[in-house]
Chains A and B, each alone.
Chain A
Amino acid sequence: MRHTLAVTVENNPGVLTRVAGLFSRRGFNIDSLAVGRTENPRVSRMTIIVEGDDMVVEQVAKQLHKLIDVIKISDITRNAYVDRELVMIKVHAEPSARAEIMQLVDIFRARIVDVGPKTLTIEVTGDEGKIDAIELSLRPFGIKELVRTGKIAMLRGVKNSAKNNSQKEEDVK
């Protein structure tokens, strides 16, 4: 099963290497990892999607917790949360096909961010299902290039997955 981990880390040099290195040497698989600063410039937040049964993910979380730069880990998989991913797709677009592509872009509430002589570049955000669907729809036109940010996620409502200035808390037992 796929788990979504919200991980807050100290914004120190090398922190990404520490996290990524831990995954590779312990043989855990990262599906995606997105990282960026939070509202506190000294703290970054990672959203890590990891594949594995509960035992494996528990071990991942415990090992991550041992990294000194890691402040907090929450496995939010079983909570209500919103997640988003941003994808840019450069699709082959002959003049004759443009109308159809733009129609698809509208349907998916995506946006065209660049127009070339023979291409359109489309930006789309959404959850995994939506992104897979638009990719599938555009494929017949010829996808030249595709890049995705990796998923970011946040708990719904008043609950916080991470306080960005707090002491380490034990969320994952």
Chain B
Amino acid sequence: MGGVKLSGAEILLKSLQAEGVDTIFGYPGGQALPIYDALYDSDIRHILTRHEQGAAHAADGYARATGRPGVCLATSGPGATNLVTGIANAYMDSVPMVAITGQVSRALLGRDSFQEADITGITLPITKHSYLVEDPSELGRIVKEAFHLATTGRPGPVLIDMPKDVSSEVINYEIPGEMQLPGYSSVKDGDLGLVLEAARAIAASMRPVIYAGGGVVISGAHKELLALAELLMAPVCNTLLGMGGFPGNHPLSLGMLGMHGTKYANYAVCECDLLIAIGARFDDRVTGKLETFAPEAKIIHIDIDPAEIGKNVRVDIPIVGDVKRVLCQLLEVLQPGLREAWRDRIQAWKKEYPLSYCDNGRLKPQSIIREIYNITEGAARVTTEVGQHQMWTAQYYSFTKPRSFITSGGLGTMGFGLPAAIGVQVGCPDEVVFDIAGDGSIQMNIQELCTAVNYELPVNVAILDNGVLGMVRQWQELFYNRRYSQTELSNPDFVKLAEAYGAEGIRVTKPVEVAPALEQAIRSSKPVMIDFVVDREENVMPMVPPGGSIGKMLG
């Protein structure tokens, strides 16, 4: 052992490679210089974004698409604070991410030094854990722990803050020792007694509904979920992050539930006598008014995070464990069921209250999303920004595969989609990637178009351009007496803008132009931005008014 002299930065990169990292998204700066100097000789691929926020979202998108942890890197101070939104976004959606920041040298810490920010302090409530590295000899262990924490249990972002002199200090490298995490354990299997209790409740149920969230996708339990639903003949509704965890075109699929869910999903939840919540957290956008959410139902809640159980609703049968393993345990003890009356009732709702929009010959956002679905045969990786276009995507693109829908759910970050699409394309180079965007959101990280051009990442950006901040405007229309305060946008020429960045730009104003434009975009080896000039008045329907019961929807 020993003998090898390495700098802190070299140890960092060596440790990252030991964790299987081959790609980093980042942006250099003063206090990160030793790390960037070491990267110069490294095999790790570095994707230079145009803003640190872009790097964080790209790492996020990469992680969600591949299931491997995403890594982003920034300098101290403003570099680090620019990561904050991206870290918060990953935290809310349980995305495995390791964020590395430069920091001022140890002797300068706490003195308001140039480009100093207390980033471990700032990110305390939005990281699973964080480290300020005070001794380069601890780095190997810290990196090992950081990846373990980010990827196990309920995944989340972990931050490593690297003072410049820690990065540049040369020490005798030794293989890192054991992880020291006496306070950390991640439960895996569910409690057998509770699994059996759940099985009894399921057997006794006449009207079960499965409510499946992002946990199904994260734990890779889509096959088990499908088996469970088919065994019980139980309908499945998905949360926004759960889309793709159950095939959207399956007869048992109810699509999304909640504020902009389908009526039949919400009605089913209202009338069910048993709600099986799997890897979901009873978010307020899902439940609406809590007192009227699944009022007649016994609730089984399966989740890896014990703190989610009983947080928002009272649970009858709590099962803490990895979703995939708990579902396997359940499948072993369950009997098939045929609940024909319940099935017929749901089929009747589906027939009576389908998702619909008025197809009046104008260019409709919903029809564009259907067209993207048709042309990509439902096989594209789709990211979105946040707003109306995001809800329409969830409603009208029937996601059939896990990790195919990548969207900012918990934090609702406008500007997420384009950098996330870049991360997705880096992780899945041979797949078709679409960022479905709004004209407001796209401008929050549009500079990343340059990143896509530089690295020849052929992402497709479909802007559903209605010239307004549509979702905010929709709320103003419905709840603020049509007082459209600050929601009109005067936009740049997106086609010229795309061309200025070296991408391809296409404008579409008529329904007949949609399919040819999409085909051209998919064929192109360049990033393509399509400006779909859509009907301004279109709203996302149906809708549960804020604080209302999910059984009472507008539209």
Give A15's nearest chain B residue, CB to CB. Answer: B183
Chain A 129-171 interface mask (CB, 8 Å, partner B; 1/0): 0000000000000000000000000000000000001111000
Instruction: Check B125–A21 contact: CB distance below 8 A.
Output: yes
With A17-B121, A21-B125, A55-B310 known as contacts, the answer to whether A167 contacts B182 (CB < 8 A) is: yes
How many residues of A sit at the interface, in one of the four size bands?
A: 20 to 34
Contact of B120 among A10, A14, A65, A165 (CB under 8 A): A14
Q: Which of A41-85 contact B (CB under 8 A)?
A: 55, 58-59, 62-63, 65-72
Would A68 and B310 count as touching, CB distance under 8 A? no
Does A59 lie within 8 Å of B183, measured CB to CB?
A: no
Residues on A with beta carbons closer than 8 Å to the beta carbon of B278: none
Q: Mark contacts of B168-192 with chain A using CB atoms, 8 A cut-off: 1 yes-contact digit, 0 otherwise.
A: 0000000000000111110000000
Q: Indicate if A109 sits at the interface (CB-CB under 8 A).
A: no
Tell me the minimal C-beta distance from B23 to chain A in angstroms. 26
Q: How large is the interface on B (under 10, 10 to 19, 20 to 34, 35 or more residues)?
A: 10 to 19
A164's nearest neighbour on chain B, judged by CB, is B182
Report A63 CB to chain B, min CB distance, Å. 5
Given A13-B132, A14-B120: A65 in contact with B182 (beta carbons within 8 A)? no
CA gap between A9 and B181 in the complex, in Å: 11
A25 at the interface (CB under 8 A from B): yes
> Is the beta-carbon distance between B124 and A168 smaller than 8 angstroms?
no
Nearest CB on A from B157, distance (A): 13
Residues on B with C-beta less than 8 A from A13 are 132
- Closest chain-A Cβ to B94's Cβ sits at a distance in Å of 12
**Interface contact B307-A59, CB-CB below 8 Å:** yes
A87 → chain B closest CB, angstroms: 32
Q: What residue in chain B is nearest A14 (Cβ atoms)? A: B120
Q: Per-residue 0/1 for A19-37: is the Cβ within 8 Å of any B Cβ (1 yes, 0 no)?
A: 0011001000000000000
Q: Does A62 contact B129, Cβ atoms closer than 8 Å? A: no
Cβ distance A131 to chain B, nearest Cβ, rounded Å: 32
Q: Is A111 close to B, CB under 8 A?
A: no
Known contacts A55-B310, A168-B185: A68-B149 contact under CB 8 Å = yes
Listed residue (B129, B132, B182) with the most chain A CB atoms within 10 angstroms of its CB = B182
* B183 pairs with A69, CB closer than 8 A: yes
B132 and A66 form a contact (CB under 8 A)? no
Question: With the chains together, A72 CA to B305 CA distance in Å?
Answer: 16
Q: Are B183 and A70 interface neighbours, CB within 8 A?
A: yes
Q: Quick one: closest B residue to A59, CB to CB?
A: B311
Is A2 in contact with chain B by the CB < 8 A criterion?
A: no
- Write out the residue numbers on chain B whose beta carbons fall within 8 Å of the beta carbon of A165: 182
Given the complex, which residues of B lie within 8 Å of A69, measured CB to CB?
183
Q: What residues of chain B lie closer than 8 Å to A18, measured between beta carbons?
A: 124
A166 proximity list for chain B (CB < 8 A): 182
Q: B307 near A65 (CB under 8 angstroms)? A: yes
Given contacts A59-B311, A62-B307, contact A25 B125 (CB under 8 A): yes
How many angstroms between the C-alpha atoms of A14 and B184 in the bound complex? 17
Q: Which of B289-326 contact A (CB under 8 A)?
A: 305-307, 309-311
Cα A62 to Cα B187 with chains together (Å): 14
CB-defined contacts of B183 to chain A, threshold 8 Å: 9-10, 67-72, 168
A171 to B236, CA, bound (A): 34
By a CB distance below 8 angstroms, the chain B residues around A14 are 120-121, 124, 132
Query: Are B184 and A62 interface neighbours, CB within 8 A?
Result: no
Q: How far does the Cβ of B97 sit from chain A's closest Cβ, in whole Å? A: 16
6 contacts between A and B (CB under 8 A): A14-B120, A17-B124, A55-B310, A62-B306, A65-B306, A168-B183
Q: Mark A residues whose CB is within 8 Å of B.
A: 9-10, 13-14, 17-18, 21-22, 25, 55, 58-59, 62-63, 65-72, 165-168
**A68-B129, A68-B183 provided; 4 other pairs, C-beta below 8 A?**
A10-B183, A59-B311, A62-B307, A165-B182
Interfacial residues, chain B to chain A (CB-CB below 8 A): 120-121, 124-125, 128-129, 132, 149, 181-185, 305-307, 309-311
